[in-house]
Amino acid sequence: MVRASQLLHPQREPAVPRAAATVLLLRDGGTGLEVLMTRRSATASFAPGAYVFPGGVIDPGDAQAHAAAVRRPTQSDERLTQAIAAIRESFEELGVLLARHADGRPVHPDELAGLDRHAPLLPQCRERGLVLAADEVFLLAEWITDRDLPRRFDVPFLVARMPAGQLPVADEAEQFEPVWVRPADALERHHAGQFFMVFPTIRTLERLRAHANVDAVLAACASEQPLWTSCPRAGFVQGAEARFMEHEMQFGELALVCPDGQLLHHLDWRTDAAVPLLKNVTRVTAPNPGVMTGPGTNGYLVGDPDTGYIAIDPGPDEPEHQQRIWRAAGGDIRLIVCTHSHPDHSPGARPLQALCRTPPPIYGLPSAPTARAASEFTPDRVLGDGEVLAVSGGGRQHSLRAIHTPGHAANHVCLVLLEDGLLFSGDHVLNGSTTVVDPPDGDMSAYLDSLERLIAACDAFGIEFILPAHGHVLGHARRAIETLRNHRLQREAKVIAAMRQRPNGTLDDWVELAYTDVPPRMWPVARRSLLAHVQRIEALQLVG
């Protein structure tokens, strides 16, 4: 866990979320699935003027109304309470009632017209022999309002089929202009500036548009588990506020830099200035963006003015880049470490060393004979597996433990910042893409074995975040590595299938079968990792 003393921003306690419930009323329209939405009042305290789904805060009485509702055998008490709240809110806001008679008969329009939306719902239902149809309300997702907002809600997004014969009528107090809309159309109108929606609504519609009809949505929700759960995080992109879900590339960095949801971090890539991530960790990105490097190669400084600094991956030989690293460290670089010898990582080590008044030693593993000429590298000191490098001063210490991780390169090393549970992954784990494993210096079996070592390291050292050489910080470190491992094994299965389908094929034949999810323009790059897969498959005799 990151030491609180190393956080950039003062800790604060986010507002406590209130329990609420929202329901997406669905129908099959003439051109596909449609959802009922309404516009909130322009004076509403939450999301004024936004188009939303009906819903609101869960009342204490909702939990006491279980006897007035029909439930599924698999529907928990908590989900039943949420369904009752959603039914009540849709009735109060839109006059839509999810209920039926005890014998299964639907609510007649005359009965519905006789109900008072401003009076308690349950007594009126009892008088007419109606029960709430909570068994027809299913859980789609769970949203928790972002940590930076002053009013927060813990909201299940529920789904139900619109009762036949009922027409929505807004209460003209909280909700206005009920409209049936296809998810894709709502998103298109929003992007055109004609249909304002808040982040959870947008992301829900993006996923809902993949379903063809109501039956498909309800079938997807049959497990009683949310299809996703999210508490988004916010930062700035090009000066504008932007929000991200857990699976998106920027989320982990926001969790590291602003764990309590402070809306302070800028996510734009800077190659002209160092970017602090913690008090003891600074990122300096090289000005070498491209297909293989993404926004550029990340170097890192670990330390503080009292301890001096360890420089990780000084990057390509770019004098201005090395100057930026040196200035960000105040000239006090005690050690230089290269995760591996590729030309966007290690050539800057000697020029950076030469800038320092007391030349720091350069650590790493020497390049293997299999390395290409541009990747030749000889450190001052060979970094042993498990060796710990540290800087200390002012009562603080920052310690990096080396883990040998061959695979992407034969001399690849990852580093664990022991005091804060951070993994500097070099090119072994990236954010936004998978690394290339390029024989002969790259080896797929070694790469997969190294991933297993990193998974074990996450458990041993409490690693929560990964700081890669390309891309933003990754959160949920163990899960991210497991996902990468599973992706590689799934790719291997595709390669095996391609080799069996075309037993006399070439790499070019197999790449178009095994990499159908990759744009053809990237196949020449994919072909390099494909070769690594083929070599592993043949060595293990996985194709009979």
CATH of the domain at 67: 3.90.79.10
115 shares a domain with 203: yes
Q: Is residue 243 part of a domain?
A: no
Q: Is 233 helix (H, G, I), strand (E, B) or coil?
A: strand
Model pLDDT, residue 40:
87
296 shares a domain with 202: no
- CA gap 366, 374 in Å, rounded: 13
- CA gap 76, 11 in Å, rounded: 36
CATH of the domain at 412: 3.60.15.10
Q: Is residue 107 part of a domain?
A: yes
Model pLDDT, residue 260:
96
- CA gap 200, 47 in Å, rounded: 11
Query: Which residues partner with 397 through β-bridges?
Result: 392
Buried b (16+ CB within 10 A) or exposed e, 164-199: eebebebbeebbbebbebbbbbbbeebeeeebbbbb
**Residue spans of beta strands (DSSP E) within 305-421:** 308-312, 333-337, 362-364, 381-382, 388-393, 396-404, 413-417
Angle subtended at Cα 372 by Cα 366 and Cα 374, rounded to the nearest 5 degrees: 85
Q: Which two tokens stand for residue 511?
A: 């790449």
Provide CB contacts within 8 A for 324, sequence distance 6+. Answer: 272, 273, 274, 284
138 shares a domain with 56: yes
333 shares a domain with 210: no
Q: What is the mean pLDDT of the chain?
A: 95
User: Which of these three, 479, 505, 521, is where a domain ends?
Assistant: 479
Query: Which residues partner with 29 through β-bridges?
Result: 32
- CA gap 531, 526 in Å, rounded: 9
Query: Which residues partner with 237 through β-bridges?
Result: 240
Query: Which residues partner with 416 through β-bridges?
Result: 401, 423
Pairing of strands 396-404, 413-417: antiparallel
Prediction pTM value = 0.93
Q: Is residue 398 part of a domain?
A: yes
Q: Is residue 381 part of a domain?
A: yes
Q: Which two tokens stand for residue 75?
A: 């529907």
Cβ-contact 105, 131 below 8 angstroms: no
Q: Kind and range of the H or E element at 385?
A: none
Q: Is residue 303 part of a domain?
A: yes
495 shares a domain with 472: no
Model pLDDT, residue 172:
80
Model pLDDT, residue 174:
77
Question: Which class for 8: exposed (0-12), middle (13-18), buried (19 or more C-beta within 10 A)?
Answer: middle
User: Which of these three, 479, 514, 531, is where a domain ends?
Assistant: 479
3-state helix, strand, coil in the chain (%, to 5): 30, 25, 45
Model pLDDT, residue 491:
97
Q: Is residue 166 part of a domain?
A: yes
Q: Is residue 497 part of a domain?
A: yes
Q: Within a 10 A sphere around the Cβ of 256, how many other Cβ atoms? A: 25
Cβ-contact 367, 376 below 8 angstroms: yes
175 shares a domain with 76: yes
Model pLDDT, residue 107:
92
279 shares a domain with 218: no
Buried b (16+ CB within 10 A) or exposed e, 513-540: ebbeeeeeeebebbbebbbbbbbbbeee
Model pLDDT, residue 109:
85
Model pLDDT, residue 46:
75
Q: Is residue 260 part of a domain?
A: no
User: Which of these three, 456, 479, 502, is where a domain ends?
Assistant: 479
Q: Kind and range of the H or E element at 284?
A: strand 281-285
Low-confidence ranges of the chain (pLDDT < 70): none
466 shares a domain with 520: no
- CA gap 332, 415 in Å, rounded: 20
Range of the domain at 361: 269-479
- CA gap 288, 295 in Å, rounded: 7
Model pLDDT, residue 89:
95
For 491-534, write each residue's pLDDT tens digit: 999 999 999 999 999 999 999 999 999 999 999 999 999 999 99
**Residue spans of beta strands (DSSP E) within 30-117:** 32-40, 51-52, 55-57, 99-101
Closest by Cα among 408, 392, 414, 393 to 461: 414
Closest by Cα among 457, 468, 302 to 389: 302
342 shares a domain with 456: yes
198 shares a domain with 115: yes
280 shares a domain with 177: no
Closest by Cα among 248, 39, 232, 229 to 139: 229
Q: Which two tokens stand for residue 455?
A: 């998974």
C-alpha distances out from residue 255 to 148, 268, 318, 381, Å: 12, 16, 31, 35
Four-CA torsion 420, 421, 426, 431, nearest 10 degrees: -110
Question: Which class for 77: exposed (0-12), middle (13-18), buried (19 or more C-beta within 10 A)?
Answer: exposed
Number of domains in the chain: 3
195 shares a domain with 124: yes
Q: To 10 degrees, what angle do helices 507-514 and 523-539 make?
A: 100
